[in-house]
Amino acid sequence: MATNFTIEGLKATIEGKEILKGINLEMKGGEIHAIMGPNGTGKSTLASALMGHPKYEVTDGSVILNGEDVLEMGVDERARAGLFLAMQYPSEITGVTNSDFLRSAINARREEGNEISLIRFIRQMEAKMKELDMNPEFAHRYLNEGFSGGEKKRNEILQMMMIEPSIVILDEIDSGLDIDALKIVASGVNAMRSDDRGFLIITHYQRLLNYVKPDFVHVMMQGRIVKSGGPELAERLEAEGYDWVKEELGIEDETVGQEA
């Protein structure tokens, strides 16, 4: 089935403060969309609201994935419906090994009695870890515990590769990565590109987009998408910054709420 992900008029608040003020976006399988913008404009809130983070309350709008109402679903149902969010700050969970966690995630998508066999799972995990140049011992480490920033990001990409979602949201996956790690993460993303998978890449910087070519670039300010274009838009933002966009649109303060 062709993947179709539509966000319409999405508004969301945190602690009563409106951060998203009506987001519209349509994505299809095979497309890569980038959302760029300065700090504090609501980019990460969009990612969290789509995934269903309990701190954010959606007050208006709709999110439809392949005809299904995402906003009616719990966080786990959204994930099983095909949504994946690579988080900016993944939780650390003591006592739960990376491999136990991933196996639970995969089995959550399978019928009871049809769980993935241990040996097959291990083979898959080891192969993907190799692609991401991860030390095999990370399979047995506690989930994200004591991982460096870059290791956490790779681990997010590993999960994406294992889970094979249909809509992937990458929230600042490039922050805190050195150039080598960035290339590895980018090649992981590129390896996952397919006609039935869409990507929404949230980033401050152009540099990830040098390695993962977006089809569409959106600029977010004041909790809205204020400008959209092709890859050339990202290049201009990289070269000239955001001031020209603000000038063009008559925006003085691009931030929204108190989000950092």
Does 224 engage in binding with another protein (CB under 8 A)? no
> By CB under 8 A, is residue 63 in contact with another protein?
no
Select the residue interacting with another protein from 11, 21, 28, 80 (CB under 8 A). Answer: 80
Q: Does 116 bind another protein (CB under 8 A)?
A: no
How many chain residues are in contact with another protein, going by CB under 8 A?
A: 29
- Selected from 1, 16, 54, 67, the binder of another protein by CB under 8 A is 54
Which of 239, 215, 242, 243 lies closest to 229, judged by CA?
215
Q: How far is the CB of 61 from another protein (least distance, A)?
A: 20
Burial 138-153 (b: 16+ CB within 10 A, else e): bbebbbbeebeebbbb
Q: Which stretch binds another protein (CB under 8 A): 23-31, 46-54, 174-182, 185-193?
A: 46-54
What is the rounded distance in angstroms from the CA atom of residue 203 to the CA atom of residue 195? 23
User: How many other C-beta atoms lie within 10 A of the C-beta of residue 37?
Assistant: 24
Cβ at position 59, least distance to another protein in Å: 20
Residue 193 interacts with another protein (CB under 8 A): yes or no: no
The 3-state DSSP class for residue 3 equals coil
Residue type, 70: V
Q: Are 51 and 78 within 8 A, CB to CB?
A: yes
**CB of 232 vs another protein, minimal distance in Å:** 33
Q: Is 141 in the site for another protein (CB under 8 A)?
A: no
Specify the residue, 93 or 127, whose C-beta has the smaller distance to another protein. 93
Q: At what angle do helices 179-192 and 149-163 cross, to 10 degrees?
A: 10
Which C-beta is closer to another protein: that of 176 or that of 231?
A: 176
Helix axes 118-131, 98-107, angle to 10 degrees: 120
Report the C-alpha gap between 199 and 34 in whole angstroms: 8
Interaction pattern, residues 86-105, with another protein; x per rule: CB under 8 A: -x--xx-xxxx---xxx-xx
* Minimum distance of another protein from residue 110's CB (angstroms): 10
Tokens of 214: 């977006």
Q: Which residues bind another protein (CB under 8 A)?
A: 51-54, 74-76, 78-80, 84-85, 87, 90-91, 93-96, 100-102, 104-105, 108-109, 142, 159, 163
